[in-house]
Homo-oligomer: A and B are copies of this chain.
């Protein structure tokens, strides 16, 4: 940590700060410039993390030097983490293709879509039974009945299932049915939920908060990991900006940034990023080429009749075409050998 003093700071003020830090058991390194003085702090900065040095009149700014996350950082874990879900691997060149409808709607719907995505190469099934909706008047999901249908479809077609948990009160219920927990963008800083997910033994897909910086997102992963659960899969799903032509802005540079700063796998969700099906395929391909470890895609056989997110869902035929393109492109960049498409 570096403390930048104001040009007007006196020697007494400087000494006062150095004292405070040394009393907290840390070392200092003072650098007196022509115009401004800076005080470097050496040692375990968590001792200082809640000391509001920034409120001192003599301080211009505080600069954090070391990363605030540890377990999620590549500094302490140089090798890529590979998450294993019932034998399906994510990371280290293994691509996760997570596909399915936005919401579980009926058994027939689940069976139709699951069969289609499995044949086209999906290796995970996704669908929501508890739905976070902006409006209290919109469909809120089928609840446990939906979880049952989801699990049934997953078993029938041998696909591990991913589904969203929205609250600590329902996490145990969801763990009975899910193979992977999903924490959504609106709960990315629901710290009580993150901690609970950290205490379960299911892998967690952690979507980025729609206005979360990459550093804050890794801090949310740290919440889960610091409770013991190391199987976190990050999911970039678009951030909120001024642009209105798309539902969100797909922050694709987050893929190489995460690869540099963390060892965790990262997948991308172009369906939510774009919000319109016609932009989904190019964004899925771009995500793979950018280095993502997989994609999460909304698929519906009758988007016109989908209860939610129909506008951004691919039809199975389009999904199949996309998967063929993905297999070709993945082989050029040397990943995705795990993918299997029914001939």
Contacts and interface: CB of A to CB of B under 8 A. Distances in A.
Interface of A: 2, 4, 7-8, 20, 29, 31-36, 38, 40, 42-44, 46, 49-56, 63, 65-66, 68-69, 75, 132-139, 166-170, 186-187, 189-193, 195, 210-211, 213-216, 219, 222-223, 226, 239-246, 249-257, 260, 273-274, 276-279, 282-283, 285-287, 289-291, 303-313, 325, 328-329, 332-333
Contacts of A33: 40, 42-43, 65-66
A309 B245 contact: no
A223 B282 contact: no
Interface centre among A2, A33, A253, A283 (most CB of B within 10 A): A253
B2 A304 contact: no
Nearest to A138: B49
A53 B2 CA distance: 19
A253 B241 contact: no
A38 B279 contact: no
5 tightest CB-CB pairs across the interface, nearest first? A52-B310, A211-B211, A167-B192, A186-B189, A29-B31
A7 B75 contact: yes
B43 A303 contact: no
B257 A245 contact: yes
Contacts of A254: 243, 245
Contact of A192 (B52, B166, B240): B166
Given A52-B303, A68-B134, A135-B219, 17 more contacts: A2-B2, A20-B304, A32-B42, A34-B42, A34-B44, A38-B40, A55-B313, A63-B63, A136-B226, A186-B190, A241-B241, A245-B254, A250-B253, A252-B252, A255-B282, A256-B283, A329-B329
Contact of A133 (B52, B56, B191, B251): B191
Nearest to A8: B75
A307 B219 CA distance: 20
A75 B216 CA distance: 33
